[in-house]
Structure 1
Amino acid sequence: MIPVNEPLLNGNEKKYLAECIDTGWISSEGPYIKQFEEQFAAKMGRKFAIAVSNGTAALDLAVEALNLQPGDEVILPTFTIISCISQIVRRGAIPVLVDCDPDTWNMTVEQVRLKVGPRTKALMIVHIYGLPVDVAPLLALAQDRGLAVIEDAAEMHGQTYNGKPCGSFGDISVFSFYPNKHITTGEGGMVLTDDEVIAKEIRSLRNLCFEPPRRFVHERLGWNMRMTNMQAALGVAQLERLDEFVLRKRRMGAVYTDLLSGVSGIQLPLTRTSYAENIYWVFGVVLDDSVSFDAIEGMRRLAEKGVGCRPFFYPMHLQPVLRKMGLFKGESYPVAERIAERGFYIPSGMALTEVQMEEVAAKLKEILK
């Protein structure tokens, strides 16, 4: 089986992990935490970075830091992972959804403009699969309407928008370091901001709101969302190679594009837009309507041939858990619905070889005949 993802851990990862073990600094108190935070903030053009236990935790803390009230509205794409919406709903705020562009698979600026209303308090900009959202008009809209902005850059390590790092936009930005990301710590995440007050609040919230002078006397409920020193050690080693990893991913995207260009029955990712070149977090394909089977059947057929795949995100407005809450009744977002049913991504991990890519492409061609 060619796995859908396999990380590349052949740099200084073992060396730095051994140092953690030799020194005994394996918890969240170790020195690699600060090093990873400072280096990651500098790389992304932010003043502050707060390392946390995973990308979902990063989103939860970002939403919590906005202090949303019941009834406040937050605009976000329907085509995303459920982590984006969870804490919005838990706060009693109202998620307002927009559809995605059929070519970039990102949220559309035009629909955001139509959805902004008197109760809108925030926008969540979510970059999808390798190309960033068209950020500038959304930031201008947010500034004009006094809206907070969370930038979910979980899949955008090393990507830029008009030359500026993704993860540097809005009031708060977040990253994930799950093993399928350009940089991995196994599990892990990062919250970034240029606001010192927000940074201080998030540091407190991730650490159970322990505050001086008495550590175990609490004025507020927080979470244990700390990253360990061992995770941060992995992060430091991976960050050292980020530029190399971005080039590697773009090379992989170019190989797949060359192998699959002209193959009837599938839509390939865009190689670039006017503001960014694709970094191919994953290499997604969407089956044309002329193909007689959907993504689930396509993945089943590829699995039989030894190729691992994953489906596209399932839209928020169709999620059973959210529908049971009475959300999104009667709402339809046709682009997200279509690509969720007909889209999946093929092996895209950092350790994938060109020989494996050639095999994957050959097997994909076979099932499309």
Structure 2
Amino acid sequence: MSHPQGIPLLVPQLPDRLALQPFLDRIDLSRHYSNFGPLVQELEQRLATDYSTHASLPLEVVTVSSATAGLELALSSLELPPGSRVLVPALTFVASLTAILRAGHLPVICDIDPDNWLLTPDIADDCMRESDCQAVIAVATFGQAQDTRAWSAWQQRHGVRVIIDAAAAYGSQWVEAVDIPVVFSMHATKSLAAGEGGFVVTGQPGQRRMIKELSNFGINLSPDTDHPVGHLSYAGTNAKLSEYHAAVGLASLNSWQTQADLRHAVFLQYRETLQQACGDALIWQQGPAPAAPTTFSVRLGSSGRRSKLEQLCAVSRISTRRWYQPLLHQHAAKVGPIVHLPTPTAEAVSADLIGLPFFPMLTRGQMAEVSQHVAMAVTA
């Protein structure tokens, strides 16, 4: 039987007022609201400590107003020639594309691995033979972690810089290679949520300093340079994280492990319920389940099955989403110039990929209801 109020696609889980209160009290006391305040500094330090435990050398963190801004500024920090070609997978959120364009570069849209749905170093090797690129944005799609050590070796072999877009992979994506900057999101729908915000993890202090300055209009903040403090060093933007967002981020960090354990358990139970209902009819993204998943996607085997499921779910008020569609090269031409390499795998994956409802408080009954609808779509 359908739930009378339907099943939403996502339900954000942010800290409540009681969890926020100690941090808000500190803001009231300091009267520091933006411009790299004490809560922002504490959040960056706590994150840097966590990431450094998984790396061979210390890592640094710089917060930004969104992961999209973080991608754009990380690209700018590479100081590539204007119009450089940047490789990016076809199956990803549009921010991966717009960041390249807004940084003044040319997106080269490429294919993905048929099993894990990621842009891999092997695929990048093939793409380099077809289109000379100066940088790569590799995406941790649906929270599936990228191998930073493999990308570091690839970067050294080709002399081409690599950035990882790990917007949805907090808790799963570690930064084991200190020469690969990784960008994370703290949007309300993510597992480490600040309402809005993001951060960049890097093992290169100069890169962190440049991203920080770029987030503050490009104003020089260091007295240890030849350029006077307060003068523009770059044409930056205003992408600083506020103290209020840092307060939410810190409160979220305090409860993150509990939330992550719940998300992980729900994800595994949901997948088992679907497999019991559908057998081998579904196609899953290969790789370990994310530590704190934020979405739930599966392939149904044909576009016809997907359309049928969407119709069934619409009647029962079960929300679904065709995540990351249209593919990057299928957006309006006026968005910006692109280079489109062959993407047969991405097109095959996108033809039957569907995002199902997923949130920490998803009940077994809701999982069963969704699974019944999926079974009707794939077994008829």
TM range (shorter): 0.7 to 0.9
What SS does the aligned partner of 1:285 have?
Answer: strand
Paired letter, 1:14: L
Query: Superposition pairs for residues 224-263 of structure 1, below 5 Å?
Result: 224-262=238-276, 263=278
For residues 152 and 258 of structure 2, the distance between their equivalents in structure 1, rounded to whole angstroms, comes to: 30
Q: Which residue of 2 aligns with 1:178?
A: 187
Change in 2 beyond 3 A, CA 1:13/1:301:
farther
Is the Cα–Cα contact under 8 Å of residues 128 and 155 in structure 1 kept in the other structure?
yes
2:118 to 106, 120, 138: 106
Q: Which residue of 2 aligns with 1:343?
A: 353
Q: Which residue of 2 aligns with 1:304?
A: 315
For residues 156 and 168 of structure 1, the distance between their equivalents in structure 2, rounded to whole angstroms, comes to: 16
Q: Which deviations, in whole Å up to 9, do the C-alpha atoms of 1:140-168 show, x marking residues without a partner?
A: 121112221211111111115xxxx2586
Paired letter, 2:191: H
Q: Which residue of 2 aligns with 1:154?
A: 167
Paired letter, 2:323: F
The alpha carbon displacement at 1:26 in A equals: 3.8
Considering fraction of residues, name the structure with more helix: 2
User: What is the root-mean-square deviation in Å for CA atoms of aligned residues?
Assistant: 2.8
Is 1:353 aligned with 2:368?
Answer: no
What SS does the aligned partner of 1:75 have?
Answer: strand
For residues 350 and 74 of structure 1, the distance between their equivalents in structure 2, rounded to whole angstroms, comes to: 36
Paired letter, 1:186: G
Is the Cα–Cα contact under 8 Å of residues 65 and 239 in structure 2 kept in the other structure?
yes
Paired letter, 1:312: W
Is 1:124 aligned with 2:137?
Answer: yes
For residues 150 and 7 of structure 1, the distance between their equivalents in structure 2, rounded to whole angstroms, comes to: 27
Paired letter, 2:236: G
Q: Which deviations, in whole Å up to 9, do the C-alpha atoms of 1:291-314 show, x marking residues without a partner?
A: 63445x633531331222221212
Paired letter, 1:269: W
Is the Cα–Cα contact under 8 Å of residues 98 and 333 in structure 1 kept in the other structure?
yes
Q: Which residue of 2 aligns with 1:2?
A: 7
Is the Cα–Cα contact under 8 Å of residues 65 and 240 in structure 2 kept in the other structure?
yes
Q: Which deviations, in whole Å up to 9, do the C-alpha atoms of 1:273-307 show, x marking residues without a partner?
A: 3xx44333321011212x63445x63353133122
Query: Superposition pairs for residues 287-302 of structure 1, below 5 Å?
Result: 287-289=300-302, 292-294=304-306, 298-302=309-313
Q: Which residue of 1 aligns with 2:282?
A: 267
Is the Cα–Cα contact under 8 Å of residues 67 and 183 in structure 2 kept in the other structure?
yes
For residues 294 and 56 of structure 1, the distance between their equivalents in structure 2, rounded to whole angstroms, comes to: 30
Is the Cα–Cα contact under 8 Å of residues 27 and 229 in structure 1 kept in the other structure?
yes
Change in 2 beyond 3 A, CA 1:63/1:29:
closer
For residues 25 and 176 of structure 2, the distance between their equivalents in structure 1, rounded to whole angstroms, comes to: 30
What SS does the aligned partner of 1:313 have?
Answer: coil
Is the Cα–Cα contact under 8 Å of residues 178 and 184 in structure 1 kept in the other structure?
yes
Is 1:42 aligned with 2:53?
Answer: no
1:137 to 150, 163, 175: 150
Range that drifts further, 56-65 or 19-28: 19-28
Change in 2 beyond 3 A, CA 1:282/1:170:
farther
Is the Cα–Cα contact under 8 Å of residues 87 and 110 in structure 2 kept in the other structure?
yes
Is the Cα–Cα contact under 8 Å of residues 311 and 344 in structure 1 kept in the other structure?
yes
TM-score relative to the length of structure 1: 0.86
The alpha carbon displacement at 1:56 in A equals: 0.5
TM-score relative to the length of structure 2: 0.84
The alpha carbon displacement at 1:109 in A equals: 3.1
The alpha carbon displacement at 1:325 in A equals: 4.2
For residues 68 and 216 of structure 2, the distance between their equivalents in structure 1, rounded to whole angstroms, comes to: 16
Give unmatched runs, 5+ long, in structure 1. none
Is the Cα–Cα contact under 8 Å of residues 218 and 237 in structure 2 kept in the other structure?
yes
Is 1:14 aligned with 2:26?
Answer: no
Q: Which residue of 1 aligns with 2:72?
A: 60
Change in 2 beyond 3 A, CA 1:265/1:312:
farther
The alpha carbon displacement at 1:14 in A equals: 2.8
Is the Cα–Cα contact under 8 Å of residues 124 and 152 in structure 1 kept in the other structure?
yes
Q: Which deviations, in whole Å up to 9, do the C-alpha atoms of 1:301-339 show, x marking residues without a partner?
A: 3133122222121222222246x645336x431221122
What SS does the aligned partner of 1:132 have?
Answer: coil
Is the Cα–Cα contact under 8 Å of residues 86 and 106 in structure 2 kept in the other structure?
yes
For residues 326 and 220 of structure 1, the distance between their equivalents in structure 2, rounded to whole angstroms, comes to: 25
Paired letter, 1:44: Y
What SS does the aligned partner of 2:142 have?
Answer: coil
Is the Cα–Cα contact under 8 Å of residues 68 and 99 in structure 2 kept in the other structure?
no
Give unmatched runs, 5+ long, in structure 2. 1-5, 53-57
Is 1:284 aligned with 2:297?
Answer: yes
Q: Which residue of 1 aligns with 2:55?
A: none
Is the Cα–Cα contact under 8 Å of residues 179 and 203 in structure 2 kept in the other structure?
no
Is 1:27 aligned with 2:34?
Answer: yes
Is the Cα–Cα contact under 8 Å of residues 309 and 346 in structure 1 kept in the other structure?
yes
What SS does the aligned partner of 1:116 have?
Answer: helix
For residues 154 and 229 of structure 2, the distance between their equivalents in structure 1, rounded to whole angstroms, comes to: 42
Q: Which deviations, in whole Å up to 9, do the C-alpha atoms of 1:216-242 show, x marking residues without a partner?
A: 653432111111111111111112233
Percent identical residues: 25
Is the Cα–Cα contact under 8 Å of residues 148 and 170 in structure 1 kept in the other structure?
no
The alpha carbon displacement at 1:38 in A equals: 0.7
Q: Which residue of 2 aligns with 1:90?
A: 102
